[in-house]
Amino acid sequence: MLILSQAARSHRARQGPRGQVTPRGGFTLIEVLVTASVLLIGLLAMTSTSVVVNSLRRSAGDRSIAQAALQAIVEDLHASASEADSDAANWANDILADYGPGGTPGDAFAVPGLDPWEGETDVATVQIVLDEMATDAVLGVAAGMPRDLDGDGNVNATNVSGDASLLPVIVRLRWRGETGQQQLQQVVYLLRY
Amino acid sequence: MSCHPRTIARNPRAGFTLIEVAVAMVIVTVILLATTMSLQKEAEQVTDLQRLTYAERQIQDFYSRVEERLDFAQGIDATTTLSTSLSAGATGTMLLEDAFGFPFEGTVVVEPGGASAERVTFATLDAPNDALDGLTRAVRSTAASSHPGGSIVAWEGVCSPVENQTAPPAGTFDGLTDDLRGNLFFRGDGMGFAYRRPVDPANNGVFIDAGGVRWGAQVGSTNTLDGCAALVFQPTATFTEADRAFDINRDGDLDDVFDLGRIVDLSWDATDVSNGTHDVTLLSAMVLQEQNAYASDLDSDGFADPIFFWNPDSGRLRIRLFVLMGDVRGREVVKRFENVLYLRNGAAE
């Protein structure tokens, strides 16, 4: 109140004898406040830019973690296929013992540093395709399916776990990032040799 | 309302009242202070971000360079036995059954896991005689003792899962590490990884001859069938929790001492080291390991953290780094990085 009354008095004081504003009036308090507001808006813009930059950096960091995890899983799948019994009857099952349901790490697991999508419990999922007749449309990826996976020249088996020569594997990573839900996926082909 | 003539005379020149000036100055000062603080904070954040980003880029670059080197490589298990006994005071030569894969300088563990386990640093590899020369005994807080012929000798780089993963007896393993495939008991320090790769000495695009893949290494600029190589952690500085007032391994105290080191790629002529050795730094000194307790737990998750973890059976190499990223807003930042490589050519026989 004191400031406002002073401002009013000041405004009156700058009027000449005939009520005209003098050319030497300087800034009024309202002008100073407007300037301050403009500066504050500038400051807020700077702060929000900083927040956005930080958010983008965290987002890039998350993606980097996800890419490293994806590569690790893909490389490990190849190692698992190499380690598995080369006998056709056991090969796919040995891989499933690692990356199938109940295996270690299993077909769904956490990735340190990444949070799963809302309503989901795991970040990484590994889908080993055992059905020769599954289509890309159903799988949701470009895996070149359907195709012959057991090397018998036919595309008719619904489960090749006992005689597979080739296994398409879909690795997906879904995490909650700074800018929303993110996803990375890759199709890997494991060969029995 | 009437005005005093003297007051009217002053009004055109009156300018601001004292209170106006005071209020304006306070507002301007507050804004200037806020601007200055904001700009300072912004500048600090930009510097911190640049530092973190640069460090992360270095790590990614490191992994790319390792991948490029190991793409077709074959791992070497540098483990052998003493061909003759080694007395407690011997500092000259250690004779091995087979020195293949042992780098031209480094540290070995004799009788790992036993009561007589001793770490010994060697200055030179004498490949023709399968010997390690210039010994410094009892390093890394171990005690010097005599070792009978036939005792196991492992290069400190070696780190692999032990065969018995169900309930290995004490002394048969050095630690338990967490892994994508579950927790694994392992033996070794994991400070390096010895390898060889297909080479083309004549530079005519022939990497395979009648005997199979022509294994070797690039020593300096020379591709040689006699070559061998190793990625190695080399400590260059000491880093104490007390000095930095920072509990690096989050174990609740400031008592621990760490080695801060770089990762180098060593290569040498495995038939005769005097024919050539070479080293390239792949990652500058930003990797942490607890001094005298290599491969120990660095993030208090209850599991050991060797840098290199090699499974010869599956051809799988895990490289886990704890990196000192730098000081961010007065706090040291240590970040864990991990990558897995599948070496399609497995392990050397």
Q: Which pLDDT does position A143 carry in this prediction?
A: 92
Residue A18 predicted with pLDDT over 90: no
- Chain mean position to CA A20: 65
Q: Which pLDDT does position B193 carry in this prediction?
A: 96
Reported as a pLDDT band with limits 50, 70 and 90, residue A24 is low
Are B276 and B327 within 8 A, CB to CB?
A: no
A68 touches chain B (CB under 8 A): yes
For residue range B204-246, what is the model confidence (pLDDT) as tens digits? 888 988 888 999 999 988 899 999 999 999 999 998 999 888 8
Percent of chain A with pLDDT over 90: 59
For residue range B43-79, what is the model confidence (pLDDT) as tens digits? 887 888 888 888 989 999 999 999 999 989 999 999 9
- pTM here is 0.82
Q: Which pLDDT does position B321 carry in this prediction?
A: 96
| Residue of chain B whose Cα is closest to the Cα of A47 | B38
Q: Which pLDDT does position A22 carry in this prediction?
A: 54
Are B34 and A43 within 8 A, CB to CB?
A: yes
B183 touches chain A (CB under 8 A): no
Q: Which whole-number Å values give the CA distances from B93 to B21, B106, B272, in the listed order? A: 86, 14, 16
Chain B residues closer than 8 Å to A27 by CB: 16, 24
User: If you average pLDDT over residues B291-298, what whole number do you get?
Assistant: 94
B312 touches chain A (CB under 8 A): no
Mean per-residue pLDDT over chain B, rounded: 90
In chain A, % helix, strand, coil (3-state, to 5) comes to 45, 20, 40
Q: Name the residue with higher pLDDT: A10 or A90.
A: A90
Are B81 and B150 within 8 A, CB to CB?
A: yes
Q: Which pLDDT does position B11 carry in this prediction?
A: 58
Alpha carbon distance B246, B82 (integer Å): 42
User: If you average pLDDT over residues A13-40, what whole number do you get?
Assistant: 67
Residue A17 predicted with pLDDT over 70: no
For residue range B322-343, what is the model confidence (pLDDT) as tens digits? 999 988 777 888 999 999 999 9
Q: Name the residue with higher pLDDT: B114 or B6.
A: B114
A126 touches chain B (CB under 8 A): no
Place of tokens 């990826």: A141
Reported as a pLDDT band with limits 50, 70 and 90, residue B35 is confident
Alpha carbon distance B315, B188 (integer Å): 17
- Give A19-43 as a DSSP string: SPBPTT----HHHHHHHHHHHHHHH
Return the exposure string of B86-125: e unless at least 16 CB atoms fall within 10 Å of the residue's CB, then b.
beeeeeebbbbeebbbbbbbbbbbbbbbeebbbbbbbebb
B45 touches chain A (CB under 8 A): yes
**Residue B319: which residues within 8 A CB-CB, separation 6 or more?**
B63, B66, B193, B307, B308, B309, B338, B339, B340, B341
Chain A residues closer than 8 Å to B316 by CB: 75-76, 79
Q: Which pLDDT does position A7 carry in this prediction?
A: 44
Q: Which pLDDT does position B260 carry in this prediction?
A: 95
For residue range A93-114, what is the model confidence (pLDDT) as tens digits? 999 999 999 998 999 999 988 9
For residue range A127-185, what is the model confidence (pLDDT) as tens digits? 999 999 999 999 999 999 999 999 999 999 999 999 999 999 999 999 998 888 999 99
Bin A82: left if φ > 0, else alpha if -120 < ψ < 50, else beta.
Answer: alpha
Angle between helices A29-83 and A2-13 (to 10 degrees): 130
- Token readout for B149 is 């012929």
Alpha carbon distance A19, A12 (integer Å): 8
User: If you average pLDDT over residues A54-81, what whole number do you get?
Assistant: 89
Distance separating the N- and C-terminal Cα atoms of chain A? 88
For residue range B155-169, what is the model confidence (pLDDT) as tens digits? 999 899 999 999 999
The backbone torsions φ and ψ at residue B314, rounded to the nearest 5 degrees and listed phi first, read -100, -10
Are B301 and B313 within 8 A, CB to CB?
A: no
